């Protein structure tokens, strides 16, 4: 809604013409409100201002800082990069270098790391979907009073630190770990499986850690689905699996998209899981980023990697937004 | 020609419900119900909420299984047959249209499940949309339609498979009054044109009266009465049916004479004796009620000629008048304190009513007007 000029809606001329007593002079409060309104600061605007301020302060400004660093050159010192703007001989000197971005193309390590990250994120997302969908479906179709406790079980792992849970997986997957001891104890295998420090461990770690982010949005869409639609489908001759494919699955698409992106986007940039569970050859962009920042101290290149990663992920994020918007439109109709 | 297969002993019922009981935990939704519904009928299950009518319908569709009793459709026992294998289609109260499919695809859904060839699906869907006058909306999604259009999509979808039996759960419940009246006749026309047996659940007695060949009035899981609309209206078998369908005056009294051709009831409440031209099958002195419909009560200011008999004539004071244009409804207080309802058509054209508030009036009715009820 556009800000309204209070003078437009004021009935002063009409009242004066009708010979009514003059309207009382505007109070200070009215004047302040008038000014804020003219600036577009209505109550509604104020409410939106909060999130905007948050985004500007903690997303946009940091992004500009990273962008600035990415076009600087590495230097020895603190901070370890050159200044963007410098006073030199009474004139402004602008240093913009693309050496950081250049490195991305010179060394195919980065391209491989990006592609491998996308692959690992994609496969993990698929695993989350395959495991998470039946779980979400089971919770959504459980008797109403059982749903709360079941959801609680999904959220329960968050009560333990993420890092500790990843460490727990290390002790499960290692050569003399829980899993190998169990399998060997049962006589199923005779030599320990080499799972820890491999891509498989990374898949397990990411799938485990991000599963709740898949289940929760899926549950939300499945739970609000109208059960009579399935009855209608059955009534029209659809067998249960056909009803699932033609009714449940398409209608839960917004949940599938939301859940997949909530897993996929952070999984691409994941750093802790590949570092702890992955092998030395598990190439992931989050890890390379960390190496560049803290091992090579090449902040401009690291920033360039971060910006390229963001560019990679803008696409999926926009798909996510699109589906969210569509879902909300439908809800309003 | 009269369509009354229920009077024909040779006719085989299409749907046979035998002593069906449905319990949900401690709650008995349907209690020992037996019904026979014949091919081509427009059969209504009429009752208030919680009367078990929807549960009965859902058992016919196969969404609920009877706790006891059996259901036969076309002679086949339906026990254990899932909804998708029953020769029955249902129109849901909420319509249950698939929100992600166009009108066309919603209607085609049932045919696709049966593997009907594509060309045939196309022609049958087109025919169906033509029938419900929705051809221009074929490509729309349900949320782009009005309530009345959605109702017609639901009807088309449930009819496209040419079911022998169509179950309709409050088919007109979500429509406004004017649209509902119009759709009532459309529904009856479609039913006659396609020759489908309809079983309709409704809480609206007017709707049931207009459309049905027969009505089953349900109360607390029981069937209170089954009959044609006129039977139910003119010959209710209990105070419940009498009061549920239309409005009625019920006088409490005691039998004085009980003969095969007439009954005489003394009622202090009515302030006169009630003479009824049918047998009450009750012993003299038994307690009973007499139901008289408001439109059968005449209201006059002049003393009727047969007032001296003291039968079927009483006096009262007009307390309320509702002028509805075509008719007026009068509420008359009798000396006993009983309030009586009488309706009279406004045959003459005038702005001042001949009878007005606080007028002392005579009420009388013909001997055939009353019905003796025992409970």
Q: Are B174 and B213 members of one domain?
A: yes
Q: Which residues contact B55 (CB under 8 A, 6 or more apart)?
A: B22, B29, B30, B64
Structure confidence at residue A324 (pLDDT): 67
Q: Are A46 and A163 members of one domain?
A: no
Q: Are A242 and A107 members of one domain?
A: yes
Q: Are A327 and A249 members of one domain?
A: yes
CATH number of the domain bearing residue A240: 1.10.3720.10
Beta strands in chain B (DSSP E): 15-24, 27-37, 42-47, 68-73, 76-77, 88-91, 165-169, 197-202, 214-219, 222-227, 249-258, 263-267, 272-276, 287-292, 298-300, 313-323, 327-333, 339-345, 360-364, 371-373
Q: Are A300 and A156 members of one domain?
A: yes
Residue B323 within any structural domain of the chain: yes
Q: What is the three-class DSSP state of A218?
A: helix
Residue B245 within any structural domain of the chain: no
Q: Is A245 an 8 Å CB contact of chain B? A: no
With a cut of 60, say whether residue A293 has pLDDT above it.
Answer: yes
Q: Is A214 an 8 Å CB contact of chain B? A: no
Structure confidence at residue B55 (pLDDT): 95
With a cut of 70, say whether residue B360 has pLDDT above it.
Answer: yes
For residues A229 and A227, give the distance between their C-alpha atoms in angstroms, rounded to a whole number.
Answer: 5
Please tell me which residue of chain A has the smallest CA distance to B160: A236
Is A231–B92 a contact, with Cβ atoms under 8 angstroms apart? Answer: yes
Q: Residues B303-307: what's their mean pLDDT?
A: 83
pLDDT band with cut points at 50, 70 and 90 for residue B308: confident
Q: What is the three-class DSSP state of B32?
A: strand
Q: Are B219 and B270 members of one domain?
A: no
pLDDT digits (tens, 9 = 90+) for B50-106: 899 999 999 999 999 999 999 999 999 999 999 999 999 999 999 999 999 999 999
- The token pair at B260 is 């095969």
Residues of A in contact with B96 (CB under 8 A): 226, 228-229, 231-232
CA-CA-CA-CA dihedral for A135, A136, A139, A141, to nearest 10: -110
Domain that holds residue A274: 101-332
Q: Are B225 and B107 members of one domain?
A: yes
Q: Do residues B157 and B140 lie in contact, with contact meaning Cβ atoms separated by under 8 Å? A: no
Q: Are B25 and B147 members of one domain?
A: yes
Structure confidence at residue A255 (pLDDT): 92
Structure confidence at residue A72 (pLDDT): 85
Structure confidence at residue A91 (pLDDT): 78
Q: Residues B346-368: what's their mean pLDDT?
A: 85
With a cut of 90, say whether residue A252 has pLDDT above it.
Answer: yes
Residue B46 within any structural domain of the chain: yes
Structure confidence at residue B259 (pLDDT): 86
The DSSP H or E segment spanning A154 is: helix A144-155
CA B249 from chain centre, in angstroms, equals: 19
Nearest C-alpha neighbor of B129 from the set B153, B106, B111, B105: B153
pLDDT digits (tens, 9 = 90+) for B285-301: 889 999 999 999 999 88
Q: Are B65 and B180 members of one domain?
A: yes
Structure confidence at residue A11 (pLDDT): 45
Residue B105 within any structural domain of the chain: yes
Find the chain B residues whose C-beta atoms sit closer than 8 A to any C-beta of A. 61-63, 82-84, 88-90, 92, 94, 96-100, 109-110, 113-114, 143, 157-158, 161
For residues B88 and B86, give the distance between their C-alpha atoms in angstroms, rounded to a whole number.
Answer: 5
Structure confidence at residue A104 (pLDDT): 81
Chain B: closest CA distance from residue A313 (Å): 29
Residue A186 within any structural domain of the chain: yes
Q: Are A175 and A117 members of one domain?
A: yes
Residue A228 within any structural domain of the chain: yes
Q: Are B61 and B94 members of one domain?
A: yes
Q: Residues A141-154: what's their mean pLDDT?
A: 94
Q: Are A37 and A117 members of one domain?
A: no
Please tell me which residue of chain B has the smallest CA distance to A242: B113
Average pLDDT, chain B: 91
Q: Is A239 an 8 Å CB contact of chain B? A: yes
For residues B89 and B159, give the distance between their C-alpha atoms in angstroms, rounded to a whole number.
Answer: 7
Nearest C-alpha neighbor of B173 from the set B148, B146, B137, B140: B148
Q: Are A244 and A320 members of one domain?
A: yes
Q: Which residues contact B141 (CB under 8 A, 6 or more apart)?
A: B99, B100, B101, B102, B103
For residues B127 and B350, give the distance between their C-alpha atoms in angstroms, rounded to a whole number.
Answer: 51
Q: Are B35 and B149 members of one domain?
A: yes
With a cut of 80, say whether residue A125 has pLDDT above it.
Answer: yes
Domain that holds residue B36: 5-240
Q: What percent of chain B stands above pLDDT 70?
A: 99
Structure confidence at residue A7 (pLDDT): 44
**pTM (2 d.p.):** 0.79
Measured at the CA of A314, the angle between CA A312 and CA A317, to 5 degrees, comes to 125
Whether residue B326 has a cis bond before it, omega within 30° of 0: no
Is A247–B98 a contact, with Cβ atoms under 8 angstroms apart? Answer: yes
With a cut of 70, say whether residue A22 has pLDDT above it.
Answer: no
Residue A176 within any structural domain of the chain: yes
Is B99–A330 a contact, with Cβ atoms under 8 angstroms apart? Answer: yes
Closest in A242, A250, A251 to B113, CB measured: A242
Q: How many CB pairs under 8 A join A and B?
A: 62
pLDDT band with cut points at 50, 70 and 90 for residue A8: very low
Structure confidence at residue B348 (pLDDT): 82
> Of A109-118, A316-325, B173-182, which has the strongest mean pLDDT?
A109-118
Q: Are B210 and B257 members of one domain?
A: no
Among B240, B267, B301, the domain-final residue is B240
- Predicted complex ipTM: 0.85
pLDDT band with cut points at 50, 70 and 90 for residue A12: very low
pLDDT digits (tens, 9 = 90+) for B190-211: 898 888 999 999 998 888 998 9
Please tell me which residue of chain A has the smallest CA distance to B83: A235
Chain A: closest CA distance from residue B244 (Å): 30
Structure confidence at residue B138 (pLDDT): 95
Q: Residues B367-373: what's their mean pLDDT?
A: 90
Structure confidence at residue A2 (pLDDT): 45
With a cut of 80, say whether residue A259 has pLDDT above it.
Answer: yes
Q: How far is CA B83 from CA B40, B54, B285, in A?
A: 22, 16, 54
pLDDT digits (tens, 9 = 90+) for A67-108: 988 888 887 777 878 777 777 777 777 778 888 788 788 888
Q: Residues B37-42: what's their mean pLDDT?
A: 93
Q: Residues A170-180: what's their mean pLDDT?
A: 91
Structure confidence at residue A223 (pLDDT): 93
Q: Are A2 and A115 members of one domain?
A: no
pLDDT digits (tens, 9 = 90+) for B315-355: 999 999 998 988 999 999 999 999 999 999 888 877 777 88
Q: Are A52 and A122 members of one domain?
A: no
With a cut of 70, say whether residue B152 has pLDDT above it.
Answer: yes
Q: Are B173 and B318 members of one domain?
A: no
Task: Please report the sign of the dihedral spanned by the C-alpha atoms of residue B56, residue B62, residue B67, residue B73.
Answer: positive
pLDDT digits (tens, 9 = 90+) for B212-254: 999 999 999 999 999 999 999 999 999 999 999 889 999 999 9
């Amino acid at each position: 809604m556009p800000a309204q000029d209070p003078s437009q809606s004021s009935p002063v001329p009409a009242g004066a013409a009708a010979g009514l007593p003059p309207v009382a002079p505007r109070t200070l409060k009215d004047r302040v409100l008038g000014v804020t309104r003219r600036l577009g600061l209505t109550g509604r605007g104020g409410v939106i201002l909060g999130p905007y301020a948050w985004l500007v302060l903690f997303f946009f400004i940091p992004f500009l800082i990273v962008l600035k660093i990415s076009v600087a050159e590495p230097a020895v010192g603190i901070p370890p990069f050159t200044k963007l703007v410098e006073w030199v001989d009474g004139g402004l000197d602008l240093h913009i270098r693309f050496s950081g971005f250049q490195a991305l193309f010179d060394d195919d390590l980065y391209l491989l790391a990006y592609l491998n990250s996308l692959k690992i994120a994609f496969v993990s997302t698929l695993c989350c979907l395959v495991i998470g969908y039946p779980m979400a479906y089971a919770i959504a179709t459980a008797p109403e009073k059982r749903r709360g406790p079941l959801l609680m079980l999904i959220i329960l792992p968050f009560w333990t630190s993420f890092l500790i849970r990843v460490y727990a997986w290390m002790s499960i997957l290692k050569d003399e770990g829980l899993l190998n001891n169990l399998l060997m104890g049962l006589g199923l295998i005779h030599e320990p499986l080499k799972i820890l420090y491999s891509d498989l461990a990374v898949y397990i770690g990411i799938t485990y850690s991000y599963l709740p982010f898949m289940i929760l949005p899926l549950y939300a869409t499945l739970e609000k689905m109208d059960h009579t639609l399935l009855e209608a489908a059955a009534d029209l001759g659809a067998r249960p699996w056909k009803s699932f494919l033609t009714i449940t699955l398409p209608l839960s698409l917004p949940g599938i998209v939301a859940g997949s992106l909530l897993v996929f986007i952070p999984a691409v940039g994941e750093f802790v899981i590949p570092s702890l569970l992955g092998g030395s050859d598990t190439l992931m962009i989050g890890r390379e980023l960390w190496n560049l920042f803290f091992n090579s101290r090449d902040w401009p290149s690291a920033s360039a990697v971060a910006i390229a990663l963001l560019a990679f992920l803008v696409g999926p994020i926009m798909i996510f937004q699109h589906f969210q918007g569509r879902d909300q439109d439908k809800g309003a109709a | 020609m009269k369509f009354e297969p229920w009077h024909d002993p040779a006719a085989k019922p299409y749907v046979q419900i035998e002593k069906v009981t449905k319990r949900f935990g401690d709650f008995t939704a349907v209690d020992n119900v037996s019904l026979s519904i014949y091919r081509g009928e427009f059969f209504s299950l009429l009752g208030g909420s919680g009367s078990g009518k929807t549960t009965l319908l859902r058992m016919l569709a196969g969404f609920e299984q009877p706790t006891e009793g059996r259901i036969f459709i076309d002679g086949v026992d339906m026990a254990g047959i899932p909804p998708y294998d029953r020769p029955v289609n249902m129109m849901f109260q909420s319509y249950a249209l698939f929100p992600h499919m166009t009108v066309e695809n919603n209607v085609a859904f049932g045919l696709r499940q049966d593997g009907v060839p594509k060309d045939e699906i196309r022609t049958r869907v087109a025919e169906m949309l033509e029938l419900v006058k929705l051809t221009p909306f074929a490509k729309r999604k349900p949320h782009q339609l009005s309530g009345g259009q959605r109702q017609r999509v639901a009807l088309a979808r449930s009819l496209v498979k040419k079911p022998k039996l169509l179950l309709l759960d409050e088919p007109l419940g979500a429509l406004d009054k004017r649209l509902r009246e119009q759709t009532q006749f459309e529904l009856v026309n479609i039913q006659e044109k396609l020759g489908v047996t309809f079983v309709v659940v409704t809480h609206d007695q007017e709707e049931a009266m207009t459309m049905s060949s027969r009505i089953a009035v349900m109360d607390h899981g029981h069937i209170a009465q089954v009959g044609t609309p006129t039977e139910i209206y003119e010959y209710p078998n209990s105070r419940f049916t009498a009061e549920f369908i239309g409005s009625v005056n019920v006088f409490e009294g005691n039998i004085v004479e009980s003969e095969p051709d007439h009954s005489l009831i003394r009622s202090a409440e009515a302030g006169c004796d009630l003479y009824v031209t049918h047998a009450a099958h009750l012993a003299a002195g038994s307690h009973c009620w007499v139901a008289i419909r408001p439109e059968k009560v005449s209201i006059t200011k002049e003393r009727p000629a047969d007032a001296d008999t003291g039968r079927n004539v009483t006096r009262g004071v007009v307390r309320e008048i509702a002028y509805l244009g075509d008719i007026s409804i009068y509420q008359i207080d009798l000396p006993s304190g009983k309030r009586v309802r009488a309706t009279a058509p406004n045959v003459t054209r005038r702005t001042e009513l001949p009878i007005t508030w606080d007028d002392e009036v005579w009420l009388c009715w013909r001997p055939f007007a009353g019905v003796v009820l025992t409970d």
